[in-house]
A and B are shown apart, each in its own frame.
Chain A
Amino acid sequence: MTEKFVLKIYRGTPGKQYWEEFELEVKPFYNIISALMDVQKSPVNRKGQKVEPIAWEQGCLEEVCGSCSMLINGKPRQACTALIQNLIDESKSRTVTIAPMTKFPLVRDLVIDRDSMFEHLKRIRGWVEVDGSFERGFGPKQDPKIQEARYVLSTCMTCGCCVEACPQVNKNSKFMGPAVISQVRLFNSHPTGKMQAPERLRVLMDEGGISDCGNAQNCAKVCPKNIPLTESIAVMGREVSKQALHDLISLPDAYLDK
């Protein structure tokens, strides 16, 4: 006998959102994306009404592109790794709810606009400032332990789960959110990237910067890549303070003493 479950989706357009339910079979290795694909093929809701297919974002389906973030049973995560059977077992309910993330402007159904996160990456100058792409030999040598720590930070796929989970990101605040702070740490820990560390840290001193973090620590809990976001924020908080002090009291040539 095939088992069934209910996929309950919060859908619609800005100002006109509503819940709609679909009944589906649980297939082997069935995940939220497979379920959405089946709905798309034949968009008939639980009441038997033919409705418009659901709009959602997807890409790699292996949790490495960051496209398919949504709220699944209330928790921000990637839809591709959300296996239906696991969700049923965990919640002890045969209804799985999905909804668009709430901290970003809604486009339609499960699609939200995460542009702001990419704008923040511009603001912090999230790149290594090289002279050009012509042949100049290897970059600086790196301690394998530093490389490994940087690699973890560099797996951030700008999915927005940490931003969604953060209580400090809300209508009344301009907080940039955890991901971009961790990216500052990534670039400031590169031997060449370090040279622009003060500029990046000063962005974190601005409005919406690191002082808006309330230390709720939700971010690290929801990060699908297990990036130590709270650790990054702590380390950057310290660096920002040092930089602020340095900016305040140092002489112009004080770089030599750093």
Chain B
Amino acid sequence: MKSTKEVIVVGGGLAGLAAAMKLAENGCRIKIVSVTKVKRSHSVCAQGGINAAINLKGEDDSPYIHAYDTIKGGDFLGDQPPILEMCLAAPGIIRLMDRLGCPFNRTPEGTLDFRRFGGTLYNRTAFCGASTGQQLLYALDEQVRRYEVSGQVEKFENHEFMRLVMDENGAARGIVYMDLINMKLDVMKADAVIFGTGGPGLIFKKSTNSTFCTGASNGRLFMQGMEYANGEFIQIHPTAIPGEDKLRLMSESLRGEGGRIWVYGDSSKKITNSEGKSISCGKTGEPWYFLEELYPGYGNLVARDVAAREILRVCELGLGIDGKPQVYLDMTHLPAKTLHKVESVLDIYRKFTGEDPRKVPMRIYPAVHYSMGGAWVDWPASDDPDRMSRFRQMTNIPGCFNVGESEFQYHGANRLGANSLVSCIFGGLVAGIEVPRYLETLTTSVSALPFKIFSESMAQEESLKHDLLTRDGPENVHKLHDEMADWMVRNVTVKRNNADLQKTIDKLKEIRQRYDHISLDDKGHLMNQTYAFANQFRAMLELALAMTKSALVRNESRGAHFKPEYPKRDDKNWLKTTIATYRKDEPEITFKKVNISYLEPFERDYVSAKKIKPTLKNLPNNIQLPL
């Protein structure tokens, strides 16, 4: 019997919902599993916008320049075929979201408006006020609700993925999942499973991520054999407000609309610019707009990794505001009409600090923001001879797909602002086409498989649950979390060095041992959040190890991965994708070749600003976009 077209989508953010919508259109029956109401997914936090080179501003922009900027911004670590196709599809994605009713800002003529974002010289970022992610997510949530009403989609909200069920050939055939209200485990069958479970921000505890973003799903899959790629590439967003519970993002759109970063200058101090020249740190007592001086071409809109490092460097010179690790992000000089466009971001600052950023400059500092790395997924290019026998967005586990921030492939070593939303929707749509094609190749349907494969997985999960709930040691899982996060933030973010990375690996292993001796403050069966977190924590630890070991191995500096011992990008030795594979003691690291078919690597330069017409070579002429 052939496949019954039953598909599970784990995660209901932008990527998961885009996949669900496309799958429904292609005649599949979908079950969405999400730890929260899908409408509350972390995609809502994306503020600034979504990139697409539609060229409505008379700038002669094109998707090829968008691809060029993305490849360059990612410091050449990104595989070029998926990036190119994403950029080619981006204008169609914007038009689709416009049709779905997403309230994009408009020009007086009534067409879509675009703003400028980091790492580019073009106005190619469409936006909905300053809550673009929220609006895009709602538009897809609405379409999926429509399929829910028609019966094609069934939602399991407040349910968590716990374990992948695989058949005797190792192909994904369903999941074990847990009801987060009554803590009951159950199995769900399908012929393919798509994961769009977002980033792993909570591994660092305080980040710009929502509290759902534990990375546990990917961690669990990793422990079941899924390869994890480029885990060392963690984006630090240059501008966030410090807080006790989280670090709140102050969108790049603030700088896109004219916001300037500065500290008080000190002419007695010197700093080296990117040409190696030593210059003085502004004039004493006067605002020093250091990004504008160090990067005259891009100014405040240099790529994120560069901006974050420069803020750190300036603070390390003792120039932080009040001697603390903080710099000013200034909007006070901008007209009311401009400020209105980013009102919701400014409101966040006001609400959480009590200060009005229209009147006083904001105090900000870099924060963990995004994981470029994630599940390794396949991408047969359109001119590959085996294009149709492989499946895009599929992990190394057959039938197990991964989309959105939880996979690795669109951003290389550093993501450009406003590229995440487009990569989420694009990856989701692609999976919505590739999964049905995969289902066609199956010779047996899940309903024909012995129930044993499910009951065994279920039994494993039941015994793990029993074990965790009955542990009676002296350790507290929340305190272990604090400790892990503290090590990760100190050693695996903006600056890395091998000695500390090794110590972090040892520390993570020690925490893993102590984790065996936790006891839970809640041993009940109703909405037991302590248990749910304790279970996630095990998987988070393994992902943390993968990230740290990947960082230790990579002896160069590239994009978000900066190692002063090896300050230069080293294409000869390190132009390769890091692959971490789970092993009991610590992950095994191997490498895969990066596909650089279209553009030869060159040194990134944000000092001079010249709009160039890049030539991409070897472009395939048979690209089919998922729209």
Q: Mark A13-26, 1 if CB is under 8 A from B, else 0.
A: 10000000000000
B21 at the interface (CB under 8 A from A): yes
Closest B residue, CB atoms, query A28 = B244
Q: Mark A120-158, 1 if CB is under 8 A from B, else 0.
A: 011001111110111111110111100100110011011
A-contacting 9-mer, from B105-113, B437-445, B568-576 = B105-113
- What 5 pairs between A and B have smallest CB-CB spacing? A141-B110, A127-B142, A34-B244, A128-B101, A139-B99
Contacting pair B95 A135 (CB below 8 A) = yes
Query: CA–CA, A157 to B41, complex, Å?
Result: 11
Within 8 A of A (CB), among B493-538: 521-522, 524, 526-530
| Residues of chain A contacted by B142 (CB below 8 angstroms) | 126-128
Query: CA–CA, A37 to B479, complex, Å?
Result: 11
Query: CA–CA, A58 to B42, complex, Å?
Result: 11
B245 at the interface (CB under 8 A from A): yes
A230 at the interface (CB under 8 A from B): no
Query: CA–CA, A138 to B52, complex, Å?
Result: 13
Partner of B25, one of A58, A132, A187: A132
| Residues of chain A contacted by B625 (CB below 8 angstroms) | 135
Contacting pair B245 A31 (CB below 8 A) = yes
A190 at the interface (CB under 8 A from B): yes
B548 to chain A, nearest CB (A): 24
B210 at the interface (CB under 8 A from A): yes
Q: Which residue of A30, A43, A122, A141 has the most chain B CB atoms within 10 A of its CB atom?
A: A141
Partner of B244, one of A31, A125, A133, A187: A31
Closest B residue, CB atoms, query A41 = B478
Contacting pair A133 B25 (CB below 8 A) = yes
A244 at the interface (CB under 8 A from B): no
Supply 13 further A-B pairs (C-beta < 8 A) apart from A29-B243, A52-B522, A147-B104: A27-B244, A31-B245, A59-B40, A59-B212, A62-B246, A118-B39, A132-B25, A139-B98, A139-B99, A151-B135, A155-B134, A158-B39, A192-B99
Contacting pair A151 B148 (CB below 8 A) = no
Contacting pair B106 A143 (CB below 8 A) = yes
A33 at the interface (CB under 8 A from B): yes
A183 to chain B, nearest CB (A): 10
Partner of B181, one of A62, A107, A109: A107
Contacting pair A143 B110 (CB below 8 A) = yes
B458 at the interface (CB under 8 A from A): no
Contacting pair B530 A133 (CB below 8 A) = no
Contacting pair A55 B101 (CB below 8 A) = no
Q: Give me 21 A-to-B residue pairs in the complex whose CB atoms sit less than 8 angstroms apart, sorted by A's number.
A: A29-B353, A37-B245, A41-B479, A59-B210, A59-B212, A65-B36, A65-B45, A83-B354, A107-B526, A118-B39, A122-B145, A126-B145, A130-B99, A130-B143, A133-B143, A134-B627, A138-B99, A138-B112, A158-B39, A187-B101, A192-B101
Q: Mark A33-58, 1 if CB is under 8 A from B, else 0.
A: 11001001111000000101101011
| Residues of chain B contacted by A103 (CB below 8 angstroms) | none
A64 at the interface (CB under 8 A from B): yes
Closest B residue, CB atoms, query A128 = B101
Contacting pair B106 A144 (CB below 8 A) = yes
Contacting pair A62 B348 (CB below 8 A) = yes
| Residues of chain A contacted by B25 (CB below 8 angstroms) | 132-133
Contacting pair B530 A125 (CB below 8 A) = no
Q: Which residue of B40, B107, B149, B524 has the most chain A CB atoms within 10 A of its CB atom?
A: B40
Contacting pair B103 A150 (CB below 8 A) = yes
Partner of A40, one of B42, B149, B246, B530: B530
| Residues of chain B contacted by A125 (CB below 8 angstroms) | 146, 149
| Residues of chain A contacted by B482 (CB below 8 angstroms) | 41
Contacting pair A144 B108 (CB below 8 A) = yes
Closest B residue, CB atoms, query A147 = B106
